[in-house]
Chain A
Amino acid sequence: MISQKFGRFLIKEWLGGGRFADVYLAEDSLIGKEFAIKIARGGEANLPNLIEEVKLLSELLHPNIVRFFTVEKHQGRTGIVLEYINGPSLRRIIKEKAPLNIAVVSSFLKQICSAVDYAHSRMILHRDLKPENILVEGNKLKITDFGLAFFLEGEMTRSVAGTPPYMAPEAWRGKYYKESDIFSMGVVAYELLTGLNPFFADSIEETMRNVKKGIRLRDIPPYIPESEKEAILRATASDFRKRYGSASEFFSDFIKESPGQSIITLKGKGKKKRSNLSEEQKEAVSSPFKYTLVIGGPGTGKSQSLIGRLIYLIDNGVDPEGILITTFTNKGKEDLEERISRYLREDVSHIWLGTFHQISTKILESSSHFIGYSQGFSVIPSGIAQKTIDVILRNKKINYPSSEFLRLISFSKSSLIPPEKMEIGEQKKKALIDIMRAYQEWKRQNGYMDYDDVIHLTYKLLKENSLVREDYNRLFTDIIVDEFQDLNKVQFEIIKLLLGRSGKLFATGDDDQSIYQWRGGKPELVRTFKKVFKENSRIYYLTRSFRLGEEIIAPALNLISRNRDRLEKVMWSEEKGGKVQIEGLATRNEEAEFVLSKIASGAARGRSFNEFAIIARYNYLLRNYYSVLKQNSIPFSVMFNKNFMRKREIEVLINFLKLLSRPTKLPFIFFVNLGDHLISREELKGKRNYIELLKRHPNKVVRERALFLSSLIKRASSLKSSIALKIGVEYTGLLKSVPNRSFFVKSEIIGELMDLAIDFDERSRKKDIKSFLSYIDLLFSKGFIKSEEGVKLISAHSSKGLEFPVVFIVDAYEGAFPAFSTYMTRKRMEEERRLFYVAMTRATEKLYIIFPKTEKRTSVEISRFVREALGI
């Protein structure tokens, strides 16, 4: 026990502690200055020796070493008075931010190495270097506890000092050299780069075994550049004689190639050829061909090749401002931006990098006057677009849902098929032409563009205006395209126009990972690349997966090879590992319990919760999991699809619930009309008793509907939200009346909302409609629930581009994955298979595929994809 006064020091706060000592913030009552006091937990330390040692240590004056001042003795305890650092330990930084980018790690390591070298030059070893003993104040690192491990751990452990997962093999035998500190630094560097300790295990014996085995090359993630890998391997070599002789030597090897230096350096530049790219990546990156396509499966390093290409171009004298890089998603853009700036060590805003929408907007901003937008333009959200079409439809007295026309207009623009040539009924075609013209005119007059216009008008501008086009042809010498398989027709045409005659194309893609065909994605662009770019073109294949173990590659390839429309590929891995486990559980609840138990046991063995992902075909299938994880206090993040609330069916049903909970005139008229144009707003203008009037309306249908709705409104407060929804589905005939949308798609969307309502009714104290409406409002306005830390709950679509050591694909049964809606055509089933393939290949170490044997008391069948993957 430490009372508030420790000698002349007033204890103010506990700052931290290890197994053998605690550190307190204390104020020196004589001079009023704050210090940190480290107090051994055991009894009296070997005081005379300690004082002698502290005399030596107090002479350690280095900007990255916490200063020793004196020793204080109080009530049989010994306290070492140290400089107080007001900042977290490196452990907290690792916990919150690791893996850190290489530039930051280099900056940290530089300071650590400088301090360690300085101490070693004075013959002082640290003996317990670990993140807890490195404090961070702003950007400055300070190492604490130099030479103290020996004293603080007392006689009992005098022969062995240190913290097991950071201790060199010789330290386990009680022998310490300066190379032992370098070993610990290697472990710290590994942890900064990966967020994981390479040796950590449940028991001390296992930790010792891991330390003896040492770090193997395959333990280091492939994204870490070669120089860092090699430096870490040498620093942590089991034999101390094979390690670096000094910390500075370690650091100079560590930063040999990055950051600030190219990740690839090719012949002809007078430098040694050395890089962190594989041979096949290097070959692709340095392709001399005008049109290059790099095809590779999951984890084969396509993005790395893409960055490699950029750096190769810059190294070869290409002006970065003449390089255009397109990505499919904003997330992809941000990832690339971060990685490129990390490698180039500079701001990358001068490079044309963005999604198609971002690039197109940038082009239009300077040239929109050429296409009739003389005052510039603003982009309208899809909600306004739909409302505008509603108005046009009303004015033209056309009885079709606006969402359907919006979809057709969008399809026409993205596929470059004019409405005249679309394969739809003549009457509908005529209406579409009419509406499209009116809609375009309205936008042009008001200076608006919708989301599709941005791309379509860029295409039009480049196609029709040779001056603008040639300007960009001169600007862009090289165009780099990520996720080539996801381009739609108009995006591909824009690329060709921007390339002109002399531009070079470098694209990466994988037709097996094309999961956006329903949005217009054209995986056939990958297959027909050589046909389109006949001359001076080349396809390179990346075959080695750095992410997946062989055990996962084999079933994944089994599965995807069932697709007919695909390019045959080879994929292999040097990693022998990876495990696939298939589990059939009795119910979905048992499924969730199984996942939970695996996560808990994994966590107990030292895995971080961030290492787990639960992937389902649809978001709603994951809700079961977030309640189970929440109950067990396991951190998780879940992503909702914000577009869900914008779906036509959902909008109608939510408006129906709103009408029941708070009736107002316009929605009432809408639900009496139900698209039949039986009554108009004008008819009831200024009439407050509109419900009564409609109940006596001469039209029988209006009368009946008004009577039904008014009686329902009266009962609304006693209705459960799920019951009200069921009535809504029946009343609106939603499952019958939305044209051109398959029954299954609609029923899945409506089912998702219905599940939310049932779940809400089961869990909530208030089950009324109003409470349900505010609940879903909250749910979907947030998008993400909880922090981004913890177990990831994601839909298969959102999982693309991510990777996790442990993945659970849940609800792998017929009807859920593959979804019913994909049974109709081979094309859709093939896309669904690609989706399952994408989900499978997110796992780097362990993949669980799980399915319930019954769902809603009906027995279900294991997904055909599981059978195909296993060859059964």
Chain B
Amino acid sequence: MEDFDIKIGKPSYLSNLIIYPAFGDENSLALVTLEESHNRGGTRILETGVVEELEIDHSDGDLLFIHEGEEIIGARQNRIFATSMILPMGRKRVPVLCAEEGRWKGGQELAPSGYIAYPRVRSIISRTITIKKKPSQNEVWREIKRKQTTMRVSSKTRAMTESFSAKEEELSFYREYFPEREQIGFLAFTNLRFLGGELFFSTDFFQKFLNKLLVSYGLDALEDRMREGEKPQSRPEEVIEAVRKARLREAETYGVGEEMRGVTKKFVLRLLLLTGVIVHLSVLSR
């Protein structure tokens, strides 16, 4: 990643969430998001009978992009995707994690909830999938439970999605971000820590996920907002430097493209490439 060329702009403040815009090369790839494809009936998400796997039946012409941590709700329990992936047409079993510990009944089909798991959950998935080759379901459940206890969210089935819906009003302020021209990603900090960063291959594609990511990051920021404490130790330059120096290893890919993963002392990184172009890069606080 030493040739990783990215520029970081000046910060904007959304209350205690500080967003540094990221600028880089604009690329052109014909990818459709899960929500877009599902809305037009081009993709179905089906139960397989196994909690940690779902079947994607993708009949759209375009390549389908799924964002790691993207939440789908319904069926026997709500799930989140364990990894970012690009799927061609056809049926494919893909890895997911349960995001609703207390429900084991329901139908066969799921649909996108419009939320992406918040950075703490994604960091757990990325760390454990990188180190242990398998994401830790227990750690994810524990984190969802911890968040709900801390933020006083009541959910009968411990569904992550309810953490978002219960805090809808407070989270709305974090949506009030206006991206800059040519911005393809961001690094996000709270008053206490570095949360994470995202980078996409184009401005348009970044903007398709921006709102969801702001809400996702907002949920962690909202928790930090309740606390006074030490200021974040990492700076944007340090994060970029860590990405440059990170030793990434190739990982199993579902669909097309290549996935690379890496874990450093402070960060967890994941990179999805297609024909040499960075489709999605995430760097999360470990």
User: A residues engaging B (CB < 8 A)?
Assistant: 1-4, 11, 13-14, 16-17, 22, 24, 41, 88-89, 91-92, 202, 600, 603-604, 631-634
Determine the main DSSP class of A at the interface with B: mixed
Q: Identify the closest chain A residue to B189 (Cβ).
A: A14
Query: Which residues of chain A come closer than 8 Å to B177, judged between CB atoms?
Result: 1
Residue B39 CB within 8 A of the other chain: no
Distance (whole angstroms) from the CB of A596 to the closest CB of chain B: 10
- Pick the contact of A14: B16, B145, B146, B154 (CB < 8 A): B16
Q: B231 touching A1 by the CB < 8 A rule?
A: no
Q: A3-B10, A17-B15, A600-B149 are in contact. List 8 more A-B contacts (CB 8 A).
A: A4-B10, A11-B11, A14-B13, A14-B191, A22-B15, A22-B16, A24-B13, A631-B142
10 nearest CB pairs, A to B: A2-B13, A633-B146, A14-B16, A92-B228, A4-B10, A22-B15, A1-B12, A1-B177, A1-B176, A3-B12
Q: B13 touching A11 by the CB < 8 A rule?
A: yes
Q: Identify the closest chain B residue to A89 (Cβ).
A: B228
Determine the main DSSP class of B at the interface with A: loop
Distance (whole angstroms) from the CB of A762 to the closest CB of chain B: 16
Distance between Cα atoms of A22 and B177 in the complex (Å): 15
Q: Identify the closest chain B residue to A631 (Cβ).
A: B142
Distance between Cα atoms of A91 and B229 in the complex (Å): 12
Distance between Cα atoms of A22 and B173 in the complex (Å): 11
Query: Which residues of chain A come closer than 8 Å to B231, judged between CB atoms?
Result: 13
Interfacial residues of chain B within 157-194, with CB under 8 A of chain A in the complex? 173, 176-178, 191
Distance (whole angstroms) from the CB of A676 to the closest CB of chain B: 51
User: B residues engaging A (CB < 8 A)?
Assistant: 10-16, 18, 142, 145-146, 149, 152, 154, 173, 176-178, 191, 225, 228, 231
User: A13-B231, A88-B228 in contact; A632/B145 too (CB < 8 A)?
Assistant: yes
Q: Identify the closest chain B residue to A19 (Cβ).
A: B170
Q: A17 touching B142 by the CB < 8 A rule?
A: no
Q: Identify the closest chain A residue to B20 (Cβ).
A: A4
Q: B16 touching A4 by the CB < 8 A rule?
A: no
Distance (whole angstroms) from the CB of A727 to the closest CB of chain B: 34
Q: Identify the closest chain A residue to B225 (Cβ).
A: A17
Q: A14 touching B15 by the CB < 8 A rule?
A: yes
Q: A4 touching B228 by the CB < 8 A rule?
A: no
Query: Which residues of chain B come closer than 8 Å to A2, judged between CB atoms?
Result: 12-14
User: A631-B142, A632-B142 in contact; A17/B16 too (CB < 8 A)?
Assistant: yes
Q: A41 touching B173 by the CB < 8 A rule?
A: yes
Q: A633 touching B13 by the CB < 8 A rule?
A: no
Distance (whole angstroms) from the CB of A633 to the closest CB of chain B: 4
A-B contact pairs, 11 of them (CB 8 A): A1-B13, A1-B177, A2-B12, A14-B13, A14-B18, A14-B191, A17-B225, A600-B149, A603-B149, A604-B152, A632-B149
Distance between Cα atoms of A641 and B3 in the complex (Å): 56
Query: Which residues of chain B come closer than 8 Å to A17, judged between CB atoms?
Result: 15-16, 225
Query: Which residues of chain A come closer than 8 Å to B18, judged between CB atoms?
Result: 14
- Pick the contact of A16: B142, B154, B228 (CB < 8 A): B228
Q: Identify the closest chain A residue to B152 (Cβ).
A: A604
Q: Identify the closest chain A residue to B143 (Cβ).
A: A633
Distance between Cα atoms of A224 and B20 in the complex (Å): 50
Query: Which residues of chain B come closer than 8 Å to A202, judged between CB atoms?
Result: 152
Query: Which residues of chain B come closer than 8 Å to A4, judged between CB atoms?
Result: 10-13
Distance between Cα atoms of A635 and B178 in the complex (Å): 38
Q: Identify the closest chain A residue to B14 (Cβ).
A: A1
Query: Which residues of chain A come closer than 8 Å to B15, judged between CB atoms?
Result: 14, 17, 22, 41
Distance (whole angstroms) from the CB of A625 to the closest CB of chain B: 16
Distance between Cα atoms of A23 and B18 in the complex (Å): 13
Distance (whole angstroms) from the CB of B124 to the closest CB of chain A: 12
Query: Which residues of chain A come closer than 8 Å to B225, judged between CB atoms?
Result: 17
Distance (whole angstroms) from the CB of B153 to the closest CB of chain A: 9
Distance between Cα atoms of A2 and B173 in the complex (Å): 11
Distance between Cα atoms of A17 and B191 in the complex (Å): 11
Query: Which residues of chain B come closer than 8 Å to A604, judged between CB atoms?
Result: 149, 152, 154
Distance (whole angstroms) from the CB of B17 to the closest CB of chain A: 8
Distance (whole angstroms) from the CB of A487 to the closest CB of chain B: 46
Query: Which residues of chain B come closer than 8 Å to A633, judged between CB atoms?
Result: 142, 146
Q: Identify the closest chain A residue to B19 (Cβ).
A: A1
Distance (whole angstroms) from the CB of A631 to the closest CB of chain B: 6
Distance between Cα atoms of A123 and B108 in the complex (Å): 66
Distance between Cα atoms of A24 and B191 in the complex (Å): 11
Distance between Cα atoms of A501 and B152 in the complex (Å): 64
Distance between Cα atoms of A63 and B58 in the complex (Å): 68
Distance (whole angstroms) from the CB of B141 to the closest CB of chain A: 10
- Pick the contact of A632: B146, B152, B154 (CB < 8 A): B146
Distance (whole angstroms) from the CB of B202 to the closest CB of chain A: 22
Distance (whole angstroms) from the CB of A789 to the closest CB of chain B: 14
Distance between Cα atoms of A226 and B154 in the complex (Å): 40
User: A14-B16, A600-B149 in contact; A1/B191 too (CB < 8 A)?
Assistant: no
